[in-house]
Structure 1
Amino acid sequence: MSTYIANEDVLTRVVPVVAAALVVGGVAVAALPARVGTRRELRRRWCTWALAAPLFLGALCMGPFGGALLAVVLGLVAVAEYARMVRLGRGERVVLGCAAVLVPMLGILTYATPRAFDLRLVALLLVAGALPALLSGDTARGGERAARTVFGLLWIPVALTGLVVLDKTVVALGVAVAFGDIGAWCGGALLTRMGGGLARPLSPLSPDRTWAGVFGAGIGVAAGLEVAGAFTVTLWAAVLAGCVFGGLLGSMIKREAGVKGAGTRLPGFGGLLDRIDSLLVALLLAMVVTL
């Protein structure tokens, strides 16, 4: 009950701000003139935000069980997209899918004393990730398959378990990541035009991600945490790093796979992984600094 009340307190602060942001964003996007080339894409993105925000907040309002359900649904879709991008076989897909369900459930079992991510779990994930390649006797791609599977296990199911074990912090974190992504887009669009060091890309992996975007993301993350009443310098740094490195990580995987997006499920964004890549790394880093 205490968890539900804690989340309810945060939601009381967050919901009006998120609703107002959606209204303002919707009006702004609707008012864009036809000559703006990105108008259609921005409208589709707003529709996705308008659908995703109440689903995300509604699930977390239900406490750890709602967080676990959300983690399972997101995990099953995300691991399917990841496995397709990196060309994993049926065995690896089964391992990833099972982990997407079981690891968040383990988070519920250990919720009172969050020790889900000890060495025992790490050992099991390492063995499970390598098992399909070992059993098939793959001498051509066995090591690559095992490494990609273990990475996928850590990147998706383990990260999403943060939706269960991070308690009320997860609501603040989700809002902060969303505000950070918006701040990065606005910062990249506005400050990059000023030129100078802010216009430099962070990495060749994604020329569109600039230091201006990092600056904008930092402001957005701080605003999101402050709205939720959860601002600390440590959590701000963890979420900002998640926003920055999560996007680059997603870009790296997509470029290696030779695809533009992880899928087509979310209008204006592409696949689910294209939308939650920042959230995944932010959840991992938030667990490091808070648990």
Structure 2
Amino acid sequence: MSGALVAGEAVGRAIPLVAGALGAGGIAVAALPSRVRMRAELRRRWRTWAIAAPLFLGALYLGAGGAFALAAALGAVAVGEYVRMAGLRSVDHAVLTVAAVGLPGLAWLAPGTLDLRTAGALLLVAVLPPLLSGDGSAGFTRAARTVFALLWIPVPLTGLVTLGDTAVAVGLAVALGDVGAWCGGTALGRRGPLARPLSPLSPNKTWAGVAGAVAATGTVLLVLGVFSFALWAAVLAGCVLGDLLESMVKREAGVKDAGNWLPGFGGLLDRIDSLLPALLLATVVSP
């Protein structure tokens, strides 16, 4: 059975879930009274989801080629946002952009080349710009931030290609896991032990949100017929840790959002922060 056919079947199973979630969400945000503080933001988020969900599923429906295009596009945009936050130079930006397009491309056209040799070459290329320019004032910082970006953005997004139909489930589980975390935090996170924040990096993220993510991610994986404890743990860890990781980056950079072009979210990294570690961990636990 071809990869495109398998991915098409996975998308076909996901469409009713996505349609139901968007429909229920649309009705809910439309019915919100005007006194609700986040009404306008929630409506913007729903509109963004209504556009993003078909694009995500449509790309993966096309198989490995579509997954490559999706991963490369997401990677190129996310890298640009990261470079601005991290204060990297144009040559560092170029290295990361080439990796954001090249790694998913290799996974599509020559998957056998993705091994330790590729990892070694990536690390070498990441440190070459500050080395060759003789940057003694910020060279180490630039190299470290570039290597981190490689592991944070292009490498995980390559999982959209290598995971095949599992990428559909991971993407949807993360998306609805974020919704579940928000609902759990809103409903249960006002007082009591579940109201405790996970980390000072993001005080609004509470254990109540984790409980909501636990329920939502497990439900999505069960509905899509791909549930395993290892995959559930990978997705859940992505939902919990991804936001904290990006918060750490943003706090050091002194910014609230990675960008301001994505309605309801800020930048692309603000939307895919949980997806990145979830894809990476799903790749680790997948057979």
Contact 1:183 1:213 in 2 (8 A): yes
Match of 1:173, as an amino acid?
Answer: V
Contact 1:179 1:223 in 2 (8 A): no
CA distance in 2, matches of 1:33, 1:211: 28
CA distance in 2, matches of 1:56, 1:226: 20
Secondary structure of 2:181 counterpart: helix
Q: TM-score, normalised by structure 2?
A: 0.98
Match of 1:41, as an amino acid?
Answer: E
Structure 2 match to 1:233:
229
Deviation at 1:12, TM superposition (A): 1.9
Q: 1:175-211 deviations in whole A, cap 9, x for unaligned?
A: 1001110000001111112x22211111100001111
Secondary structure of 1:95 counterpart: helix
Structure 2 match to 1:220:
216
Deviation at 1:220, TM superposition (A): 0.9
Structure 1 match to 2:136:
139
Structure 2 match to 1:155:
152
CA distance in 2, matches of 1:177, 1:72: 19
Task: Say yes or no: does 1:169 pair with 2:169.
Answer: no
Deviation at 1:154, TM superposition (A): 1.2
Task: Say yes or no: does 1:121 pair with 2:121.
Answer: no
Match of 1:38, as an amino acid?
Answer: M
Match of 1:161, as an amino acid?
Answer: T
CA distance in 2, matches of 1:52, 1:99: 24
Q: Higher mean Cα deviation, 212-221 or 7-16? A: 7-16
Secondary structure of 2:255 counterpart: coil
**Aligned residue runs from structure 1 range 1-291, under 5 A:** 2-111=2-111, 116=114, 118-193=115-190, 195-291=191-287
CA distance in 2, matches of 1:255, 1:46: 27
Match of 2:236, as an amino acid?
Answer: L
Secondary structure of 1:239 counterpart: helix
Give structure 1 regions of 4+ aligned residues with deviation exceeding 3 angstroms: none
Secondary structure of 1:34 counterpart: coil
Q: 1:212-268 deviations in whole A, cap 9, x for unaligned?
A: 111100111111111211100010001100111111001100011000000012100
Considering only aligned residues, what root-mean-square deviation do their CA atoms show, in Å? 1.1
CA distance in 1, matches of 2:211, 2:121: 39
Deviation at 1:107, TM superposition (A): 0.6
Q: Structure 2: where are the runs of 5+ without partners?
A: none
CA distance in 1, matches of 2:110, 2:193: 46
Deviation at 1:14, TM superposition (A): 1.1
Secondary structure of 1:56 counterpart: helix
CA distance in 1, matches of 2:149, 2:129: 14
Identical counterparts, % of pairs: 61
CA distance in 1, matches of 2:132, 2:223: 51
Contact 2:8 2:60 in 1 (8 A): no
Deviation at 1:37, TM superposition (A): 1.1
Deviation at 1:122, TM superposition (A): 1.4
Deviation at 1:109, TM superposition (A): 2.6
Q: Structure 1: where are the runs of 5+ without partners?
A: none
